[in-house]
Amino acid sequence: MNRITPKYLRSLYDLKAVLMKVFLTFAVFAIVGTWWIEALESHINPIDRIAYPSMIAVFGISAFWLHLKPKSLRKVEYITFATFASYCFVNFQAMLFGLPLFIADLYSVATLLQWLPMVYISAFIMLEIRNAIIVSGLFYASLVIPIIAYRFIQYVPDLASTKIYLTAMVVCFAHPIYILMLLGIALLKEQLVQIKTQAENMSVAATTDYLTGITNRRFATQSLEHLLELAKTENFHLTIFVLDIDHFKKVNDSFGHDIGDRVLIDLADFLRQNLRTTDILGRWGGEEFIVILPQTELQTACHLAERLYERNSEWVYEKVGHVTFSIGIATSRPDDTSDSLFKRADASLYQAKQNGRNRFEIAV
């Protein structure tokens, strides 16, 4: 049965999961391609002989696991980020201090330095803003502190290392700009998400009955007008129920308005559970409800009403026991308006009340 439900951040989460799978898949192919090219040129850093297959395994397994369990996105993001950040950190230290794990030439240095900002980008895409700021700050500190230490101990093994040091120093001192820009983008994104969520909440509030959680009169009226026009255009039957709780005033007088509200909520839940997914249930006002049955002939609608009465006879309402209701049924005519169709159903409801209640009557 149709019901207005806010999407909140579900669509964003699903989008992130899809993008993450695409990213991990392309990352695997990128690493394989880089490994193949460097192998052809006999130019593979010693650390990459271990790092490449390790990252291929981590990224490949993560993509497969995310495909099987989409709800594991958060864990996959943390694992992916930690793997990539660790690789960049170890490579940078090996480059800076001239360790044998890293081939200190133009290709290797340029390749590494161009990938370092991706650590910050990954952090702000994969992590919450607070965590992204923390890990970005820690990663930046892990680059800058060795550069400063390198300067003070004046460890210069050769001319190449000196040039690498100067290059690394200039590049890394520009990294706070990346962090600040990404932080600004992340904050803007957060604001947009909040605005979108608030807009969805307002839309739900404008179309949902605050007590029962089903659609309100405004949305039900709009739906009825739209479906009636569609029925005329596509030549199908549209039937409506106008339903009213029997002796509801006695419920309020005997048990109080709180229990009366509870009865309204329970009846809405009962109808929600027993109507079809294509039907639209709305609260028209007070103890009166409307059910819109698209593409439904009169005979089918009557069978549905009979089923509702049968199941309601077994339904127990809190502190009240059994509650009955009457229904007026009307099927659309070619010349009907939403108002005329409702009035015919409402007249049938009145007839059902006159004929003893706990029954339905059909509009002539």
Catalytic residue ranges: 287
Backbone φ/ψ region at 3: left (φ over 0), alpha (ψ -120 to 50), beta: beta
Taking the alpha carbons at both ends of the chain, their separation in whole angstroms is 27
Please compute, for residue 218, the number of CA atoms within 13 A of its CA located in the half-sphere on the CB side. 9
CA distances from 216 to 204, 208, 260, 280, 289 (A): 10, 5, 18, 11, 9
DSSP per position, 309-334 = HHHHTT--BTTTB---EEEEEEE--T
User: Which pair of tokens denotes residue 103?
Assistant: 């081939």
User: Cα angle vertex 134, ends 130, 135, to 5°?
Assistant: 120
Could you tell me if 66 and 27 are in contact, meaning their C-beta atoms sit under 8 angstroms apart? no
